[in-house]
Structure 1
Amino acid sequence: MEKAPNDLPNLLKDISIIILDIEGTTTSIAFVKEVLFSYVLREVGQHLETTWLTEETKKDVAALKRQNEDDVAAGVSGVVMWPDNNEMEVVIPFLVSNVCDMVEQDRKVGPLKTLQGHMWSRAYQQGTIKGHIYEDVTGALKAWQEEGKKVVIYSSGSVEAQKLLFKHSCHGDLLQYLSDHFDTGVGAKGESDSYRNILKRLQSPPPATVLFITDIAKEARAATEAGLQVVLSVREGTKPLTKQDLKTYPTITTFTQLL
């Protein structure tokens, strides 16, 4: 049943935990694609050359090699087999091509997410990147903390990448307003069991007292199946919603509508 905009603040009356998506919800899609992903595409070769002998990068390369072997064995389209020569001069150009392909295909694989997280960590710490967070989100986080509500993040990006974004945001360090972080380690965002797993991690609150805010209708449906309350975020660049989605879920264009 469609909810009128005036019902939105009342929706949060009995909510104790708010789960937030990132891209298209707290953070602009343009920032993720045009800043974060573009940085990886542009700098991955330099990053690998500069950090090649560090333990961190050695582990990243080993994990990417295992991913490549798994992809070749699974017959993933377009994947090229790891070179026989393991010299840095050979492996780095191969990895640059491999990583860029995975980024452009938006693959949600662990080794890629880990490498991205390490690259972004340096960029944030050096001030090369500032995390974009909508101003209305910042105000809502502060208000919800004052009301005693817990706010957690659930994103396909790694927990490390999530924390970097909020710690080094354009509005300062916002980690103080977040109680927990979840990534696809609990399951894919389009599967209802993922939300049940999050509830278990949160000490099993009644699902009806938990609100999930996302811009993706498939994720909204999965969360609904797990018993959560859901609001859809409509921001610049988010995917158009169907008439049925608009009838089923309340929508917001700013978090101030929930205050």
Structure 2
Amino acid sequence: MNTPTWVVLDIEGTLSSTDQVLVVLYDYARPRLGPWIDEHPDDPTVVEAVAQVRDLAGLPADATTADVVTVLHDWMTRDQKIAPLKVLQGLIWQRGYAVGDLVAEFFPDVVPALKSWHDNGSRLAVFSSGSVAGQVAFFAHTTDGDLTPLLEHHFDTVNAGPKREEQSYKTIADVLGAAPEEIVFYSDVPAELHAAAAAGWGTVGVARIGEPYGEADFTPHRTVRTLP
């Protein structure tokens, strides 16, 4: 494959294990959601996220924090990629990384691949369901140090759209100022790759042994077990 102008990367199951998100990060955020909401009553980001939860869940405007948290916990249990949940999780994780409670870990091949792409002239971006704030904190506090200088853009379901919809990838291409054929997307989820391909992007399926999509059918996408 020729060196792409842009390499756009998924995180969960592609760069880092699913367990790190669904176990480590979710377990960290779960008990902190209620306290975070109550401790930030004047933060417009938190206020808006809580209002969105109430609206999406059909809760009354005066629903308690406990009512909101019940909804958030249910969404987490079902691993729902819902924007206000991701926003609140991202804020909590951001603080967790900043105070040293959390440290991001990648698969062994990831950091060498990121550095190789960067050194060979490809520009790097991330498209994850986790919030941009959470993504930046994740890459800033890793077992390999601060990796944020390697990345030029971060996209989530708020600023780009759902990961399984073609339009989201068109939106990202517009922001990157790149033609679709100049972009390659790496993900472990076939449905995301289908959407990216529909938008004209190059695609690579990352089928990691032991991950939820490790044995999925990635046809017709090129598939790898580790990053190049």
Q: Same fold (TM over 0.5)?
A: yes
Matches within 5 A, 1:124-135: 124-135=97-108
Return the offset for 1:196.
1.2
Does the 8 Å CA contact 1:233/1:253 hold for their aligned counterparts? yes
Give the SS at the match of 1:169.
coil
Task: State how far apart, in whole Å, the 2-side matches of 1:153 and 1:166 are.
Answer: 10
Task: State how far apart, in whole Å, the 2-side matches of 1:59 and 1:145 are.
Answer: 33
1:230–1:126 distance in 2 versus 1, CA, 3 Å: same
Matches within 5 A, 1:99-114: 99-114=72-87
Q: 1:231 aligns with which of 191, 201, 204?
A: 204
Task: State how far apart, in whole Å, the 2-side matches of 1:65 and 1:182 are.
Answer: 23
Q: Which has the higher helix share?
A: 1
What is the letter of the counterpart of residue 9 of structure 2? L
Cα deviations by residue, 1:144-198 (Å, 9 ceiling, x for unpaired): 1111110100111111111111011121100010011111121211111211111
Matches within 5 A, 1:163-202: 163-184=136-157, 185-202=159-176
Does the 8 Å CA contact 2:9/2:126 hold for their aligned counterparts? yes
Structure with the greater alpha carbon radius of gyration: 1
What is the letter of the counterpart of residue 224 of structure 2? I
Task: State how far apart, in whole Å, the 2-side matches of 1:191 and 1:83 are.
Answer: 31
Task: State how far apart, in whole Å, the 2-side matches of 1:120 and 1:108 are.
Answer: 16
Task: State how far apart, in whole Å, the 1-side matches of 2:35 and 2:55 are.
Answer: 24
1:200–1:52 distance in 2 versus 1, CA, 3 Å: closer
Task: State how far apart, in whole Å, the 2-side matches of 1:135 and 1:158 are.
Answer: 24
Report what 1:64 is aligned to.
50
Report what 2:10 is aligned to.
21
Identity %: 32
How large is the RMSD of aligned CA atoms in angstroms?
2.0
Return the offset for 1:254.
1.3
Q: 1:158 aligns with which of 120, 125, 131?
A: 131
Task: State how far apart, in whole Å, the 1-side matches of 2:211 and 2:179 are.
Answer: 33
1:147–1:101 distance in 2 versus 1, CA, 3 Å: same
Does the 8 Å CA contact 1:208/1:229 hold for their aligned counterparts? yes
1:67–1:48 distance in 2 versus 1, CA, 3 Å: closer
Q: 2:120 aligns with which of 138, 147, 156?
A: 147
Report what 2:34 is aligned to.
45
The yes-or-no answer on 1:241 pairing with 2:216 is yes
Report what 1:254 is aligned to.
226
Gaps of 5+ in 1: 1-10, 73-80
Give the SS at the match of 1:19.
strand
Gaps of 5+ in 2: none
Return the offset for 1:66.
3.9
Give the SS at the match of 1:179.
strand
Task: State how far apart, in whole Å, the 1-side matches of 2:199 and 2:150 are.
Answer: 25
> What is the total number of aligned residue pairs between the two structures?
225
Return the offset for 1:106.
2.2
TM-score in terms of structure 1 length: 0.80
Return the offset for 1:62.
4.8
Does the 8 Å CA contact 1:21/1:153 hold for their aligned counterparts? yes
